[in-house]
Structure 1
Amino acid sequence: MTIILTLLDLAGIVALLLWGVRMVQTGVQRAFGPRLRVVLAAALGSRPRAFLAGLGVTTLLQSSTATGLMVTGLAAGGVVGLVPALAVMLGANIGTTLIVQLLSFDVAKVAPLLVLAGFLMFRRGMATRTRDLGRVAIGLGLMLMALHQLLAALTPYEALPALRDVFALLSAEPVVALLLAAALTWAAHSSVAVVLLVMSLAGRGVVSPEAALVLVLGANLGTAANPVLEGAPADDPAARRLPLGNLLIRALGCLVALPLLPWLAPLLLAAEPDAPRALADFHTAFNLILALAFLPLLPPYAALLKRLLPARLEQDDPTRPRHLDKAALEAPVVAVGLAAREALRLADVLQEMLQGVRDAFAQDNRRRITETRRMDDVLDRLNGAIKAYLMALDPEAMTEADQRRAERILIFATQIEQAGDVVDRNLMALAGKRLKRGLAFRPEQRKALLVMADRLAANLGLAASLFLTEDRRAARLLAEEKEQFRAIELAATQAHFAALRQGQGGVAEVDALQLDMIRDLKRVNAHLVEAAAYPVLRSEGALLPTRVAPEP
């Protein structure tokens, strides 16, 4: 029973350490996330600047995975080269070691002060960034408390023969120890937490210096495996270049360092007798040496990765999301941007459907009608994927701007999908009905419908642009289109009633069909306005609650 309670205590302490790491990461992301991405984007022009930017950003985030996701988002579509992206990752790998360097000193006494300061900043701070920095301070305090409690919990069991036998076995099997630490880091999603745990065990003499160095190598390997195993899509080789390239660099470093550890361990302890400090120095030195060795070799290395992982030539399934990287869910500022890119694909698909509508007005082609109706399935599946992706984001890790942007993405995707439903179920059904009954529009009717279809396509382009820019003037222009479509529908309705009064039965049937198509084109336009214009106008208080004039 005592052993079970001890294991539960250790599990709780480790969970507290992981939660502290997470609070630091999410606090920095919420406070500086968009700016950090701008810094990375500005630094990706050259290898040295990219390296330093990766080091600096990751020092704040304490997550090389989050930094890598930002770079991957910027590099998507070939906008940023693979060489500077790899340079960022080399810098990011060093950045994650700096917090370990700080916590390797005896700073546990400042933990209560950090928690108190963070609590006051979080509860009393008026600015959002002050509250987020308070979250960071609380996270650092919890990490220090967890490490202090871990040392206290291990003290009674330091001399247990069974515990020492287990770690002696790890010392005898360095490959097993390496893979075990890599698996633990992958499960914890934090090399910082695992390295700190190893430092605590080594500081108490539970783990031999050589075994501790092997475990640190495994932590470096495991943190590079996360993006490869969980984030990069298996069917897009080009998207796997950056995470796989970073993993191969770490793996090569481990292969070179592993045989040297029996000689390195005594040298490190001779230079730094304190075991935790020696491990922190080794952790930093390992990544620094890898960066110095590979930074000059990145151009040929990137060329090799491109040869091994060529870009995908075509998208086999148009209903499959292309930009919703699951690993990016850890960095909401990146994930929201990827969801926005995927939402623009909905606009592209709807644009193709509107071209099908125009073709249905201009010619008699049943095959084109069928092809257009099938595109609605693409809209349905992409919309569902975007919703599921955004719902998987952690609200606690999102800033107010992230949440507002995610809400607008959901509105845009939903309205575009509903516009596609109108095209599929109404406009294409009416086009098929016209062909089935052998009805023909008069030249002026056909021309009027084509003009409306062209105007609707232009409005869709404006809506997609407005979705990105959120410009108030463009929002007003798009909103005013509703009045234009109402006027067109009213004129067509009056012409239809005039034909009925004149007793023109055959002509009236064609007029009724045209009127139904105009009505549905107006409905599609209304969805475009709801998708892009109204959210902007509503947020600025420029949207009236009703069009009905108040009673006198």
Structure 2
Amino acid sequence: MLDLCGAVALLLWGVRMVKTGVMRAFGPRLRLWIGSAVRNRVAAFGVGIAATIVLQSSTATAMMAASFTAGGFMSSMMAQAIMLGANIGTGIVTRLLVFDIHFLAPLLIATGVVSFSFSHSKPLKGFCRALLGLGMMLLSLQLLGQATEPMRHAKVLTALMAALEAVPVLAVAVAAVLAAAASSSMAIVLLAMSLATADTVSPMTGLALVLGANLGGAIPPLVATLRHQAAARRVTFGNLLVRLLGCILLLPFIETVSALLSKFAVDPGLFVADAHILFNISIAAIMLPLLRPWSMLMRKILPDAPGPRSGPLHLDAECLDSPALALAGAARETLAIGDRIASMLEMSLEALRINDISRCASIADMDDEIDRLNSAVKLYLARLDRPRLNIGEADRSDDIIGYATNLEHVGDIIDRNLCELVEKKIRNQLSFSSEGAAEIEEIYNLTFSNLRMAQSILLSMDDHLARKLVKAKVDIRHLEERSAANHMSRLREGIVESIQTSSLHMDMLRDLKRINAHIAAIAYPILKRHGLLRESRVVAVGTER
């Protein structure tokens, strides 16, 4: 049993390494390729098969399809077609692994380790990681065969398999639980193949385990999208429901079907692999023509329920005839963008304080939403009839667009720079010195204050607040300079924490300074209109001292 558990664990880790390696090497291209599969259901079906063969994980394909659907880049019907293909792709991978290519395991592992050690680019390292994972999978299959060989004489296992054979529904439930716990239907199917090869399970029990593995494999993607939009949940829930219906339809005839299929299978292990493929092909043949009504049914079961931040809430097209109302709505939407920026800053600071990398997990999604809201605000204001606007309204429109654009830049800095620095600190288990941590947190707190002031300026357009914000930006610059100087002093003193986090400290200061520069940008047009803005900070030649 210990050998069996170790072999299954090695198989799961190999599958994980192949998936992460392929995503790191070809992730952007793969996403683009999957996203392009929206022309028709047959093309989407084929892309689902191919993507799952490459990734060796229908869960990964499901998550990408769900994210595309949630983002509006793919219809629910096309996503369901991709999932039908993904289920078959898993079966094809399982069938390919049956071939006697175990001799490649040490070669792939050695090649993966050596190549990874001498690779420098991220895509090449990802490819080497995938090779290493594939070698681990082949090795685990060999270990599975060795571990299950003595089991045919084990009385406990024989009694357990007899109980499962007497109650096929129980076998389906057990396999479903194992597949859900392992987040891999393929691993459970391969385990069932090993048991069948060792004559531990009958063809009927093997088929029941295949049904359970398919059912349980659809649970992890559903759990992962529970907090996502309804569009994403419809993809994963629809996939689970399709597999459940397939199991329900086949269970009453499982003895007859297993007896029929076993006549054409020479090897018990091949019977399990072929049954896995045939089950998913049968489901695809039934569901592909019915995807449109099926998608409509999923929409009724899981209707869209817009949350407080599911999209633009204040951009009413009917107000475009009234510039004052349209500008007020655009300003309110831009304030909502500012609130999201504040949340992103709070999450990054909290992750920095308590070394919790999960706090950064939703920042990327929030940045994507900010990008969409920023585009919506600009497109909305672009629809205003510019010649009809008076000078004040035209200036107001420009101020809103400028502030929204600067907030979008702030979101990018938080997502692509600050979060990466926070994650680097956590991954490498680094700690700032107490003085350095206090300095960074002080700049964070001043940034929160400046953001609140900028939000007030957008509403009031008050020139006194604008002058105060510009002064606060100067204070941030001075604080950043003092913190950098203090950091250099700590380096000269040989403080270990400062030496280890030197680049992190300086980069965070730089990024927070850039964020404050974008926040303060709203003040300059207001000060310029009031004649309170100099053209340059450089002292004129005639006034030099």
Q: 1:174 aligns with which of 168, 179, 184?
A: 168
Once residues 167 and 403 of structure 2 are traced to their aligned partners in structure 1, the CA distance between those partners, rounded to angstroms, is: 63
Cα gap change, 1:533 to 1:394, in 2 (>3 Å): closer
Conservation of the 8 A alpha-carbon contact between 1:460 and 1:528: no
Question: How far does residue 51 in structure 1 lie from its aligned partner after superposition?
Answer: 0.9
Query: Which 4+ stretches in 1 moved above 4 angstroms?
Result: 371-390, 405-410, 447-456, 464-470, 521-529
Cα gap change, 1:524 to 1:95, in 2 (>3 Å): farther
Question: How far does residue 62 in structure 1 lie from its aligned partner after superposition?
Answer: 1.4
Cα gap change, 1:455 to 1:99, in 2 (>3 Å): same
> Secondary structure of 1:272's partner?
coil
Letter in 1 for 2:302: L
Question: How far does residue 460 in structure 1 lie from its aligned partner after superposition?
Answer: 2.6
> Secondary structure of 1:108's partner?
coil
Q: 1:53 aligns with which of 47, 50, 54?
A: 47
Once residues 266 and 106 of structure 1 are traced to their aligned partners in structure 2, the CA distance between those partners, rounded to angstroms, is: 26
Cα gap change, 1:272 to 1:39, in 2 (>3 Å): same
Once residues 162 and 548 of structure 1 are traced to their aligned partners in structure 2, the CA distance between those partners, rounded to angstroms, is: 86
Cα gap change, 1:394 to 1:308, in 2 (>3 Å): closer
Q: Which residue of 2 aligns with 1:245?
A: 238
TM-score, normalization by structure 1: 0.63
Cα gap change, 1:52 to 1:407, in 2 (>3 Å): closer
Conservation of the 8 A alpha-carbon contact between 1:94 and 1:284: yes
Q: Which residue of 2 aligns with 1:148?
A: 142
> Secondary structure of 1:80's partner?
coil
Q: Does 1:118 align with 2:112?
A: yes
Once residues 84 and 135 of structure 1 are traced to their aligned partners in structure 2, the CA distance between those partners, rounded to angstroms, is: 31
Q: Which residue of 2 aligns with 1:210?
A: 204
Q: Which residue of 1 aligns with 2:258?
A: 265
Which segments of 5 or more consecutive residues in structure 2 lack a partner in the other structure?
A: 315-323, 375-389, 414-461, 477-510, 519-536, 540-545
- Aligned ranges for residues 38-117 of structure 1 at < 5 Å? 38-117=32-111
Q: Does 1:530 align with 2:530?
A: no
Letter in 2 for 1:52: G
Q: Which residue of 1 aligns with 2:304?
A: 311
Q: Which residue of 1 aligns with 2:468?
A: 519
Cα gap change, 1:204 to 1:387, in 2 (>3 Å): farther
Q: Which residue of 1 aligns with 2:295?
A: 302
| 1:95-138 per-position Cα deviation (integer Å, ceiling 9, x unaligned) | 11121011112221221111122223212335433322211111
Q: Which residue of 2 aligns with 1:160?
A: 154
Once residues 39 and 144 of structure 1 are traced to their aligned partners in structure 2, the CA distance between those partners, rounded to angstroms, is: 28
Cα gap change, 1:90 to 1:531, in 2 (>3 Å): farther
Q: Which residue of 1 aligns with 2:270?
A: 277
Question: How far does residue 10 in structure 1 lie from its aligned partner after superposition?
Answer: 2.7
Question: How far does residue 406 in structure 1 lie from its aligned partner after superposition?
Answer: 6.4
How many residues are paired up?
A: 402
Once residues 38 and 63 of structure 2 are traced to their aligned partners in structure 1, the CA distance between those partners, rounded to angstroms, is: 14
- Aligned ranges for residues 541-552 of structure 1 at < 5 Å? none
Question: How far does residue 152 in structure 1 lie from its aligned partner after superposition?
Answer: 1.6
Cα gap change, 1:131 to 1:229, in 2 (>3 Å): closer
> Secondary structure of 2:263's partner?
helix
Once residues 348 and 259 of structure 2 are traced to their aligned partners in structure 1, the CA distance between those partners, rounded to angstroms, is: 54
Q: 2:12 aligns with which of 15, 18, 26?
A: 18
Cα gap change, 1:75 to 1:161, in 2 (>3 Å): same
Once residues 237 and 94 of structure 2 are traced to their aligned partners in structure 1, the CA distance between those partners, rounded to angstroms, is: 25
How many percent identity over aligned positions?
A: 37
Conservation of the 8 A alpha-carbon contact between 2:11 and 2:136: yes
Conservation of the 8 A alpha-carbon contact between 2:69 and 2:231: no
Q: 1:198 aligns with which of 192, 210, 213?
A: 192
What root-mean-square deviation, in Å, do the aligned CA atoms of Structure 1 and Structure 2 show? 4.3
Question: How far does residue 77 in structure 1 lie from its aligned partner after superposition?
Answer: 5.0
TM-score, normalization by structure 2: 0.64
Conservation of the 8 A alpha-carbon contact between 2:344 and 2:366: no
Once residues 529 and 459 of structure 1 are traced to their aligned partners in structure 2, the CA distance between those partners, rounded to angstroms, is: 19
Q: 2:401 aligns with which of 444, 458, 467?
A: 458
Conservation of the 8 A alpha-carbon contact between 1:55 and 1:95: yes
Q: 1:128 aligns with which of 122, 125, 128?
A: 122
- Aligned ranges for residues 280-429 of structure 1 at < 5 Å? 280-312=273-305, 314-315=306-307, 317=308, 380-381=342-343, 383-384=345-346, 391-392=357-358
Conservation of the 8 A alpha-carbon contact between 1:464 and 1:532: no
Cα gap change, 1:387 to 1:279, in 2 (>3 Å): farther
| 1:302-342 per-position Cα deviation (integer Å, ceiling 9, x unaligned) | 11222222211x42x55xxx6xxxxxxxxxxxxxxxxxxx9
Conservation of the 8 A alpha-carbon contact between 1:232 and 1:243: no
Letter in 2 for 1:520: L
Conservation of the 8 A alpha-carbon contact between 1:463 and 1:529: no
Once residues 20 and 529 of structure 1 are traced to their aligned partners in structure 2, the CA distance between those partners, rounded to angstroms, is: 43
